[in-house]
Each structure stands twice: as C-alpha cells, then as structure tokens.
Structure 1
Amino acid sequence: MVAQEASNTNTYFNLTARQELRLECSNGRPVSIRLEEGIAEVFGTELNRGRAVSVTGQKVAVFTWVGCRVSVQGEPTVMYVADETPMASYLNVHQTLDQRREEAKRAGPGSAGSNGPVVVVVGPTDSGKSTLCRLLGNWAVRSGWQPTFVDLDVGQGTITVPGCLSAVPLEQPVDIEEGFIADLPLVFFFGHSSPGDNPALFKSLADKLAALLQRRAAAADPRVAASGLIINTFGWVDGLGYELQKHIIQAFQCDVVLVVEQDRLYATLQQDLKVTCPRTNILKLAKSGGAVKREGDERRGAREQRIREYFYGTARTPLQPATQTIRATDLAVYRIGTGPRAPSTTLPVGSASLADPLRLQNLPPSLEQLQCLLAVSHAATPDQILNANVAGFVLVKDVDTARGTLTITAPAPGPLPGRYLIMGSVRSSME
C-alpha cells in the first residue's frame, strides 16, 4: 500500500523502499514533480529535494531505494504506484559492468583489456530499451565513469533528430527535463526512420561509427576508455531486422548483450553468437511494467517533437531559429541510394536489382524537397559524403525552381558549416 493525499492541484505520494511512481503526461497539460522528503531518482538521475521538475509530454518513473515523499502538480494522463519493478536486476547488471570497468582501468593503456565493456540493449519495440540504456548510463556517471552512449534507433532519435546514428560521451547524468545535452555529438545521417529503408547504408554507417569510436577509445584517457559503450538499438528483431542486430553486435565488438523481454530473441542470439562472438555474454532481463506500447501516431508525434526541439529548443532553453534563402548554386543536395533494393526473391530468375543503395545522386531544386530535413555534411568534396559525419540540420521551407533558390530554417543564424547537404525521407510539418 502507498499513502496518497491531494491538496489543491498537488497530489502527494509516500513511497516505501523500492516502490515506483509511474506517470504518463501529455504535451498539452503541464505536469511537474517535486521530491519533498527522502531520496528518489528518475531513470537513474537523482531528484533534488524541493525543486520542481517539469515532466510534461513524458512518461517517467520516480523510483526510490529507501523511501520518499513526492508531490505531483498537474493532471497526468496516467498516474499509479508499482510495487514490482526489475530495478534490482538492472542494478546487478550495473554493478557487474562497474567491475569490468575497474578491471579495464587496472589493465592500463595499450593492454588487451584496457577498453571497458561494450554493452548493447536489444528487444522488441516499446520494451524499455532506451530507459535501460539511460539507467545504466546515469548510474555509471554517478559512479565516476564517462561511458559513451550510442543511439542506433533511427526511428526516434534520443541524442539528435530521427534518422541518425549518433554517439555522445556522458559526463553528467541525463537531465530529466532536457534529455541528453550534447554540444558536439558524433552524428552520421541515415535519413530514414527504419533501417530497412536502406540496410546497406545502415550497415556502412554503423561500421564507420564503430571504427571511429574504437580509434577514439585507443587514444582516450584511461578512465574514459575503461568506461566503455552503452548502445541503444531499434525494435525490429525479426528477419532482416535480426540480421542488422547481429551486424551491430559484430561491428561494435559487443561483449555484453542485454535482451529485454523476448525469450525467442534471447535463445536465437545465444545459438548464433556461439560461433561469431564466443566471448560475448548474453543476459535476459525483464521488461519494466512502466514500458507501454505506443501506436503509430504517437511515434510519429514523438519524431515531430524531436525535430521541433532541435530547432526551437525546450521551454527551459529556447532557441531562436533563423530562416534564410540561398541560391541553389551555393549548395549541393545529394541523396544516398536510388531507392530500396528489391529482394532477390522478388526478381525474375537470373536478374539482379539495379538500385545501388550507396550511390550518390545530385538533386536539383524541386518541390520534393519541401519540408525535408537535410543534413549539413562535413565533407569537403562530394566523394567524401559517404564517409563524413554531419555538422547539423536544416529544414526546407520553400523551393523556387524558377529562381533556383531554397529557403531553409536552421537552429541558429549565420552561414552553413558546409555546402553539401544530404536528403533522406525524414520530413517535418513544422511551421
């Protein structure tokens, strides 16, 4: 049982040890939480006593190991207290990872075991993978480590906009209101919300990101190298999606695979990785009861919100986006791939698909580009586009084919950091 009382617009909860207050809040109704007494955390980030924290538009869980009193201001869509959570098993995983980090640090620079654990979290859609990654990352930071968080879930975008493979070092716990604060994340633009839209490109970018992070670890401070990686993945775990999951495990040389919820996925990975990755430890973890299924409209709305936050910031840290009109001759817009490659089983016997998933196609200004999210590449020449990460993003607001101009919105005024732009299928209706 949990004590609950209401006062005006505030609802108070007295949580006992290992209880969790779960909230689902819509975007249109302001909701905040405040720790009144005791100790509590949200996905591994500690709450400061007496400070109200906005959770509008979020699904959050306030967990306490020792007991606490929490107040909720506003009216969440869903609000309840759970007695049963998988937090103890998640903490056991964190403690095991911490032991490996200590061993890697003791091994010293240049030795075979100097790099910390490379952890990948896999599981079906809406099984709580992102939450588990956030928990493990926050607990590692609070233990004095600086793991690198890698987000390969191109459908949502935790570090930056959807459609990207990205990585950022965690130097402080993730802010409950702002999310991941990444001044200079390492980002490769895939350009689509599903890895199945161009699996060859997804594999290529995953290989490049993995190789770059491995080189960085070799040159990093010993404690940073020993902190390792925490990798979030997409929820497609069948057929081609499963093959892409295995490619991720091999490309990043993952030595710990955490499987959330699905027995079949756990058993299949155990069987398949015996040969290709014999030293990889595979653990099955329970799904949190707070992980709820999101319908397609809600997932699309979340993508739209991530794009809006990239350009406009949040209520606490707003941005002033700038719109400018640029001659098309001063830019070059490219698409990677000429469309999805048809499966060989659907083609006539003896024929092959002509679509090249890694072909660069230069695009003239066209109405097709309206409301498209374009990535600004660091590439100095077109032939570097496939290998270069991106500096940021712009949104196409208008195309004048007669005058040969593009009107674009950027998160800040000033010239773009590059003239080569990459177009995918990610769009936004943002005004």
Structure 2
Amino acid sequence: MPTVELRKDEAIKIFGPAAINIASGAVEVLGKKFNTNDKFIVHKTRSYIVVALTDSKLDVNLGSEASIQAVEEDDPYHEWVSIANEILSKGYRRIMILGGVDYGKSSFSTLLSNKALDNNLDPALIDADVGQADIGPPGFISMSYPTQQVIWMRMLKPFKLRFIGDIKPQHHIGLIIDKLKELINTAEKDHRKPIIIDTDGWIGDSYALMYKYRLVEEVKPDATIVIGEEYWEFFDKLSLLGTNIYKVKAPRIRKQRSREERRALRSDKYREFLVDSQIIKVSLKNVLITNMPLFMGKPISLDSLNVSPLEKVLYAAKTPDKLYLVLSEPVKLQGFDELKTRFNVQKIRTLISGFEKNLYVAIVDKNGDEYPGQVLKIDFRNETIHVRSKYRVEPSIIRFSHIRLTEEYTENILE
C-alpha cells in the first residue's frame, strides 16, 4: 500500500476505486475534513481532489484502473470553493445547479451542502435527476436534510420522495417541476436554508434548454450555477428573471461513467430500496391505482361479456374508448369480435395474467408521502394486489410506471 506525502495546501486527484487512510495530518474533500486515522472510499465511478490542510500522509490502496494524478493548473476546484463560499455569504435560499452529464453538478452540490453545514446552516439537498438518482431510487426526485458532511450524495438518506415513474425526464417536464416545487415548499416550511437543487444532465439540445429555462422560471432560484463553459452563453438571459448567474468551469480531466456503469449504479439503488422488503396485500376496492387504465375504467361483470370459455377471463373493465380484458392464459374467445359493438368502444386490449409482475410502482400513504415498491402479483379472483416495499405504510394510492425490473434489478421499459 503506497503512502502519499502532502505538504500543507498541496492537492492531488484520486481516481477510484481506492481506499484512503489518513495516516497523519488532515485533508479536505469537497469541503469535508478528514483527520488522522479517518478513512474514505473513492468509488470506481468517482474521482476527488484531496487538499492537505496540514502536512499529511495518506495510505492509499488503489484498485484496478485507479490512479493518483497531480491537479492540473487549470482545474477549477479552488474556484468552486471560492464560489461556494460567496454564494453562502449572500444568504441565498434557493440555489439551482445546471450542467452536462458528468460535469460535476452533484459534486458541486455536495460541496455547497458541506460548506453550509460548516456555517451552521440547515441545508436541504434536492436530487432532481430521475435517471441517475443519488439520494433516492431511480424514477423519483428526492430530498435530503443533511446533518453530516459527505463526499457523495449517495451517502445521504431521503427525507421526502416524489415519484416520476421514468428514468428520462423528457416526457414528464410538468410533473417534475410540480413535484420539485412541492419539495421546495416543504423545505421552506421546515426552515431549511439553503435549498440546493441538483438537476439532471439533459442540456445539449433545444428541448433541454426549454426545460431548463422553464425550471428556472417556475422555481425562481436566487442563484443559478451553470457548469461548463460551452453552456454559459445559453443561460445569460436567465438573469432577466432575477436569478444571479454563476459561471463555473467543469474539470477538464474528470471521471466519465459509461452506460454500463450508469446502469449498474441504478441497479444498486433499486436494490437499496427494494431488497429484503415486506409484502403488502391490499384490496383493489380500497386503493386507487393510477397510470394503469385497466384500473381506471369501470369494472364489467364477466357474465355480461357473453364469451367463451368464460373461465379464462379474470377481469374486465371499460374506459371511454377501450375494453380491457385480463385472461388467465392466451386463448381465442368466442364472441370476441362482437365486444366492440356491444360495449361501444374503439379497441379491445387483452392482458395475460402476470403482466404486472415486477412492475415498479410508488406507494402513496394517506399523508401523500410516496415510497418505492414493486408489484409481485394481482389476484384478480380475490381482487387483491400484492406489492413489496421496505416502507410500512397503508397504501391509499399505487402509482404504476412503465418500468419492469429484472431479477438483477435492471430495467425493461414497457411500450
């Protein structure tokens, strides 16, 4: 295990995976101080600048593909620290961070949160990235009330979760903004300050710019941090909305995650929130199921279908334009062709029992709090839904998504 010696104010950049022990002295990572005998881990998808606060010795255990590098002269880390200190000195309440994928948004958010705690403030940190969620599970936006400094947002526990039901924001802009404003309002009622909003990395096309403009317009941050020189010119006009724009450079040399690494990080988060869950059984009569038209239509008496073999039909429901049938197995029903006319619908949708297995859902309790869950099965004969979740709550609403999780907790996105 190599030992690295650092003079006071000297800095190095460590690319993971690596395990660090402070043999002597004191160092700082993203505003968090580590003293003699303290330890920290650099995940394989992460890199950190380590700044010596005193003359220090570090025992460094490097994993495969890990490395220690000198900090480039043009690295913006010290500028980040200066801007973070300036932002906190201004007393801003709402702070939004914008930037591209792997540009350092989460690291800057963590730095800002750590500095706020250093200043005896009570920050709220909102993770608004549904795809690469750090605080909560994928498909949610989440908020934490940090009480201790961390070097990775994934170390924080969520205080509130809000379900979006997708790992891409493109089709859910209005919902994300509404849920984000809910979390901000909660944080303000709880007298949290500053409220740090870490956004997703979708920024490189016209629709993304429209989304980010709308975010700033509706959330009304006091300060907006734009990370990445190539994006600065696109956000200058946002100052007309009254937000203070801070232009921040992205590190030129930084850890960039592959698609496989991103998928693995999401799988880890699904596991964190779903493994070793309890099973919750709820009567379909006692819970509202949304985002699934089958359960939003009017139930139809099976006898009124006049099809055979009728025993293969488990459930039927009608919406204004469709008739939904749940079958125990694939089968051709006699009388099927007459159903459109009889029930005055444009289409008939048939589902085979088991279609619901492993669908990713949110369980909403009577207070409106939302928690991750996974459907195990729906017993149509006994009209019960079986969901697993780590959270012991009585569901009043179950919100479905188009995400089906495999046994390895990877996603299959349904059409």
Secondary structure of 1:245's aligned partner:
helix
1:411 maps to a residue whose letter is K
d(CA) in 1 for partners of 2:185 and 2:153? 32
- Tell me how far 1:365 sits from its aligned partner: 9.8
Instruction: Identify the residue that residue 388 of structure 2 maps to in structure 1.
Output: 409
2:171 is equivalent to residue 197 of structure 1: yes
2:241 is equivalent to residue 250 of structure 1: no
Q: How does 1:224-373 map to 2 (within 5 A)?
A: 224=192, 227-237=193-203, 238-263=205-230, 265-271=231-237, 273-275=238-240, 277=241, 279-289=242-252, 291-312=254-275, 320-323=276-279, 325-335=281-291, 367-373=354-360
Distance 1:60 1:268, change over 3 A: closer
- Is the contact made by 1:19 and 1:81 (CA closer than 8 Å) also made in structure 2? no
2:57 is equivalent to residue 69 of structure 1: yes
Instruction: Identify the residue that residue 109 of structure 2 maps to in structure 1.
Output: 133
- Is the contact made by 2:134 and 2:153 (CA closer than 8 Å) also made in structure 1? no
- Is the contact made by 2:49 and 2:71 (CA closer than 8 Å) also made in structure 1? no
2:3 is equivalent to residue 12 of structure 1: yes
Distance 1:18 1:336, change over 3 A: farther
d(CA) in 2 for partners of 1:65 and 1:54? 17
Instruction: Identify the residue that residue 83 of structure 1 maps to in structure 2.
Output: 71
- Tell me how far 1:333 sits from its aligned partner: 2.5
Identical-pair percentage: 19
- Tell me how far 1:127 sits from its aligned partner: 0.8
- More off after superposition, 195-204 vs 205-214: 205-214
Secondary structure of 1:22's aligned partner:
strand
Instruction: Identify the residue that residue 109 of structure 1 maps to in structure 2.
Output: none
- Tell me how far 1:204 sits from its aligned partner: 2.7
d(CA) in 1 for partners of 2:397 and 2:153? 33
d(CA) in 1 for partners of 2:244 and 2:4? 39
Q: Deviations over 1:243-302 (max 9, x none)?
A: 221222122221211111143x2112113x243x1x322121111245332222221221
Q: Deviations over 1:158-214 (max 9, x none)?
A: 2211112222222221266961134xx122111111111222322332343344444
Distance 1:163 1:254, change over 3 A: same
1:148 to 117, 121, 124: 124
Secondary structure of 2:290's aligned partner:
strand
Instruction: Identify the residue that residue 98 of structure 1 maps to in structure 2.
Output: 88
Q: Give every structure 1 segment of 4 or more consecutive aligned residues whose post-TM-superposition deviation is greater than 6 Å.
A: none
2:164 maps to a residue whose letter is F
Distance 1:33 1:426, change over 3 A: farther
Provide the TM-score with structure 1 as the length reference.
0.72
Q: Deviations over 1:36-63 (max 9, x none)?
A: 1222233322224213434455514151
- Is the contact made by 2:374 and 2:387 (CA closer than 8 Å) also made in structure 1? yes
Distance 1:74 1:81, change over 3 A: closer
1:304 maps to a residue whose letter is S
Structure 2 unmatched runs, 5+: 295-320, 322-350, 409-415
- Is the contact made by 1:335 and 1:423 (CA closer than 8 Å) also made in structure 2? yes
1:157 to 133, 153, 158: 133
Superposition RMSD in Å: 3.0
- More off after superposition, 243-252 vs 44-53: 44-53
d(CA) in 1 for partners of 2:98 and 2:226? 5
Instruction: Identify the residue that residue 124 of structure 1 maps to in structure 2.
Output: 100
- Tell me how far 1:94 sits from its aligned partner: 1.9
Instruction: Identify the residue that residue 155 of structure 2 maps to in structure 1.
Output: 179
Distance 1:75 1:177, change over 3 A: farther
d(CA) in 1 for partners of 2:245 and 2:136? 29
d(CA) in 2 for partners of 1:291 and 1:326? 48
- Is the contact made by 2:110 and 2:151 (CA closer than 8 Å) also made in structure 1? no
Secondary structure of 2:89's aligned partner:
helix
Which has the larger share of strand? Answer: 2
d(CA) in 2 for partners of 1:37 and 1:365? 64
- Is the contact made by 2:24 and 2:35 (CA closer than 8 Å) also made in structure 1? no
2:407 is equivalent to residue 419 of structure 1: no
Provide the TM-score with structure 2 as the length reference.
0.75
- Tell me how far 1:336 sits from its aligned partner: 7.9
Structure 1 unmatched runs, 5+: 1-9, 26-30, 102-115, 313-319, 339-353, 355-363, 381-387
Distance 1:336 1:171, change over 3 A: farther
